[in-house]
């Protein structure tokens, strides 16, 4: 733990839902749920208006709709979220070169690594940063915590959430942490919390009554050591800037969830063959093939397999990628798909009697319109109509699609319904409109 409060944690408030409210005037101040569109969907983010009804992240769509049936349930627009996130992360890198993003809406910053950091003016720095986030993103808010460790900085960002800040002064860490629920400690989920409850542990202060050995008998030796240290705010983990991995990969973020397995298999094969082209162009090969997927609830997973030897064959990579995809439960659909190769080498170990692959014209990946045709219209999707202009999908079904015509800059707009195959209605390509 440091002697100064120089580690900052920033968390954008109800990020995905807030972006939707910012860009859709009719939803401002109303319950919004991102994710959970399909029957098997899962809530990714709920606005604070929806949270008042008990809707929360990772809740099933069915339960969320039962709790808040009047909420707007949207599929999400990853490009808009990624743009806003990029602007905030760029602002953080102006404070320090050492920024550790945890997700699109959350990051640690090592302020001490910045050239102009003065611990005497940390509260002014935080106030300026939060004001800049609102200005640069056209209205999004962030909660910020600053402390002498990553543990306490993250906890501090929760204290006055949403749209608040808290600085934990050095020497007060244990006092701040003690009265909190034990679930404030990272890694204490429902199962661990239940085990600790049986020991009479509800708060962090309760946890401090136990030795490492006593805890180890109930939660395991490794967990006991971590709990013992963190309950005393003993955390010396450094902020680690993201490092580029040594791999070759291709990935694509879809405007809305793709559920068509045949389409996704086609995309995975195209990606794998493109990776093969890049490997051959750089006289490289690789052994480990990784499939990256981001699900409808924005949770990201990877699945990998290691070949017997390095290869640059697009055919081999495509077959491997398809097998990895076949093992995935697509559930409510995929938001992102990627194929990568690591374990790079400058030689290839393929069958000597296999003819070398030629540089083939793979053509473009399936277009936005082709994807839209296969999956149908998704609530929240940006569209444009030849007569009525820009808007977003309110809902669709029974051969019809309902659109609310409004944009971020307009007032709340009118709602109109069209046949799903109306030739005048099309997906609106994402155009950056948030300028730093």
User: What residues are labeled active site?
Assistant: 106
DSSP state, residue 26: G
CA–centroid distance for 308 within its chain: 33
Q: Where are the beta strands (DSSP E) in 329-380?
A: 334-345
Q: For tokens 């983010």, what's the residue?
A: 45
Extract the tokens encoding 15: 């990020």
Please report the DSSP string for 385-404 in residue order. ETTTEEEEEEEEETTEEEEE
End-to-end CA distance of the chain: 34
Q: For tokens 């450094």, what's the residue?
A: 238
List the beta bridge partners of residue 425.
Answer: 385
Extract the tokens encoding 415: 């709602």
- Contact between residue 403 and residue 394 where contact means Cβ atoms under 8 Å apart: yes
Find out whether the peptide bond into 162 is cis, omega within 30 degrees of 0: yes
- Contact between residue 126 and residue 146 where contact means Cβ atoms under 8 Å apart: yes
Angle, alpha carbons 275-281-286 (nearest 5°):
50
Q: For tokens 């319109």, what's the residue?
A: 369
Q: Where are the beta strands (DSSP E) in 230-381?
A: 247-258, 285-295, 300-311, 334-345
Give CA–CA dist 183/176, Å, rounded: 14
Burial profile 156-178: b = 16 or more Cβ within 10 angstroms, e = fewer: bbbeebeebbbbbebeebeebbb
């Amino acid at each position: 733990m440091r002697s100064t409060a120089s580690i900052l944690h920033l968390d954008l408030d109800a990020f995905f839902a807030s972006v939707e409210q910012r860009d859709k005037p009719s939803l401002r101040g109303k319950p919004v749920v991102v994710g959970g569109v399909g029957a098997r969907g899962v809530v990714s983010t709920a606005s604070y208006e929806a949270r008042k009804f008990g809707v929360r992240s990772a809740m099933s769509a069915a339960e969320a709709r039962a709790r808040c049936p009047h909420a707007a349930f949207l599929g999400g627009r990853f490009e808009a979220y990624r743009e806003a996130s990029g602007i905030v992360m760029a602002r953080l890198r102006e404070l320090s070169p050492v920024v550790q993003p945890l997700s699109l809406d959350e990051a640690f910053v090592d302020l001490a690594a910045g050239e102009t950091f003065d611990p005497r003016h940390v509260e002014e720095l935080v106030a300026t940063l939060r004001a800049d986030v609102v200005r640069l993103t056209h209205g999004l808010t962030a909660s910020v915590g600053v402390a002498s460790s990553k543990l306490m900085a993250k906890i501090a960002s929760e204290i006055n959430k949403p749209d608040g800040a808290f600085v934990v002064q050095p020497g007060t860490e244990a006092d701040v942490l003690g009265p909190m629920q034990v679930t404030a400690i990272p890694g204490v989920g429902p199962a661990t919390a239940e085990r600790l409850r049986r020991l009479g542990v509800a708060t962090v202060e309760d946890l401090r009554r136990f030795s490492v050995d006593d805890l180890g008998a109930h939660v395991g030796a490794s967990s006991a050591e971590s709990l013992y240290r963190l309950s005393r705010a003993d955390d010396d983990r450094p902020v680690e800037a993201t490092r580029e991995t040594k791999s070759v990969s291709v990935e694509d973020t879809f405007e809305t969830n793709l559920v068509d397995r045949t389409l996704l298999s086609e995309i995975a094969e195209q990606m794998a063959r493109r990776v093969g082209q890049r490997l051959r162009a750089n006289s490289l090969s690789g052994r480990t093939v990784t499939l990256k997927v981001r699900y409808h609830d924005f949770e990201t997973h990877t699945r990998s397999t290691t070949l017997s030897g390095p290869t640059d064959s697009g055919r081999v990579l495509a077959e491997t990628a398809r097998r990895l995809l076949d093992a995935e439960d697509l559930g409510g659909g995929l938001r992102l798909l990627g194929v990568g190769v690591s374990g790079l080498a400058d030689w290839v170990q393929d069958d000597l009697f296999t003819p070398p692959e030629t540089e083939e014209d793979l053509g473009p990946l399936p277009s936005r319109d082709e994807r839209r045709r296969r999956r149908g219209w998704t609530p929240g999707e940006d569209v444009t109509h030849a007569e009525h202009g820009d808007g977003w999908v309110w809902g669709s079904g029974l051969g019809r699609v309902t659109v609310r015509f409004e944009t971020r800059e307009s007032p709340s707009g009118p709602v109109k319904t069209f046949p799903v195959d109306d030739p005048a209605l099309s997906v609106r390509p994402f155009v950056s409109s948030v300028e730093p």
